[in-house]
Amino acid sequence: MADIAERLLRHEDKQRVRQRKRKPSDLDGLRNAVAVIVANLVHSTVFPAVSAAIILPLANARKARISPVLPGFGRGLKAVLQGLQAIGVAIVTLPTELHQATTIAPSGSFRSEVLSYAFTTHDFRWSPVIDCIRLNRKDRQGRREAFAIPTTAEAAQYREEMAAINGYLASADIAYVGNDPVDISDRLMARYFNHPPHVSRPSLDLGGRMFGGFWQGLKRGARRHIRINGEPIVELDYGQMFPRLAYAHVQASPGTDVDLYALPQLADIGPEHRSTVKKAFNALMFKAGTMRKWPPEIADGLPSGCSVGRFRKALLARHPSLAYILNTGIGYRLMNRESCIMCRVLMGCIALGITVLPIHDAVLCPASAISTVEQIMADAARYVVGHTVPVSVKP
């Protein structure tokens, strides 16, 4: 990291990139930015199964009012990235659309150099996140804006829960027995309270999902190679979580139907469309205002002629109780309920000494603990939303 920082500074001098000499504090910031970026590039080279590149929004000046900010990750960051690309360390890909972020990947020569050192898991140490709860909002151009966490008892409780979860996971007996290069020390998690543009005053009652941990970045087929306390794992998940949370919100019952995503009025929709139907259902929950056309990923997965209006009519025929919450942006509040349920599940498992790994509305747990964790999950849903949400082993 120190060598690359010096190479970058020599390049700037040789190319006369700067008109004025950096202040000492700016120079320290540059060295820190290079250190952080290079460390992550090394990690993505050694463990490409999880992340092949760093994803980094460059609108860091918008975060300057949120303390603390990592030194070097302010206005000068773009110049640092350009320099790293110029000296052959990184490949920087700028976004082509407003809602995208910049990606930073290791160059071929950098990868070769890193692999020659034969790094292992023991050569890396994870730094705790600045804050284990984050409050963000996307503006109408798709740029993410960070907000200060309110000083409330609720925020203190969420931090305390995340500290307990991260502390427990850090010392848990978790292994990976597959052939993929996986860094099992990557266990830090944070709750992200992400808000849509129409929310004027961000708070901690929208969003809140937990992200982090090596298992979330693994493909599903690779997760079966995880071992907890030496045991194979199973995945337990809540069945049709969002429709059931929506029914709980309007204080209604979804009935005894097995599949809440089935829409009998749409005869041309079959089992092969189910995953897209789920996305379309959620889109109508998260959209605040009239949706006139589907996003491409939904339009491409539905039969031709299945317009938003036709789908919405069929959905309301199937679920008339949800009529007044569609297109209100209620999805962000439902996601908050989901995240609170999952935090309660983790805290309940920790109390019994059971290690589980969360993946949004599901957990990976030791095979011997299936029945206990199923009960904890069922109890947590009833406690948070007052309704039953079925739990099952995911095939």
From 36, 71, 68, 78, select the one nearest 54 (Cα to Cα): 36
Residue 25 lies in a domain: yes
> Please, are residues 393 and 234 in contact by the beta-carbon 8 Å criterion?
yes
Give φ, ψ of 211 to 5 degrees. Answer: -125, 150
pLDDT at res. 61: 41
The CATH number linked to 82 is 1.10.10
Q: What is the number of structural domains in the chain?
A: 1
Sign for the CA dihedral angle at 90, 45, 219, 167 comes to negative
pLDDT at res. 51: 67
Q: Round to whole Å and give the CA distance between 305 and 27.
A: 58
Residue 346 lies in a domain: no
pLDDT at res. 60: 47
What HEC string does 67-85 produce?
CCCCCCCCCCHHHHHHHHH
Residue 332 lies in a domain: no
Residue 200 lies in a domain: no
Residue 301 lies in a domain: no
Residue 84 lies in a domain: yes
Q: Where are the beta strands (DSSP E) in 63-178?
A: 90-93, 102-106, 133-138, 144-147, 174-176
pLDDT at res. 66: 45
Q: Round to whole Å and give the CA distance between 146 and 152.
A: 18
Residue 135 lies in a domain: no
> Please, are residues 37 and 18 in contact by the beta-carbon 8 Å criterion?
no
Tell me the pairing of strands 189-195 and 133-138. Answer: parallel
Give φ, ψ of 146 to 5 degrees. Answer: -90, 145
Q: Round to whole Å and give the CA distance between 330 and 249.
A: 9
pLDDT at res. 63: 46
pLDDT at res. 62: 47
pLDDT at res. 49: 65
Residue 359 lies in a domain: no
Element holding 241 (H helix, E strand)? helix 241-249
Residues (pLDDT < 70) of the chain are 49-51, 57-69, 97-100, 129-130, 141-143, 257
- Full residue range of the structural domain in which residue 65 is found: 1-118
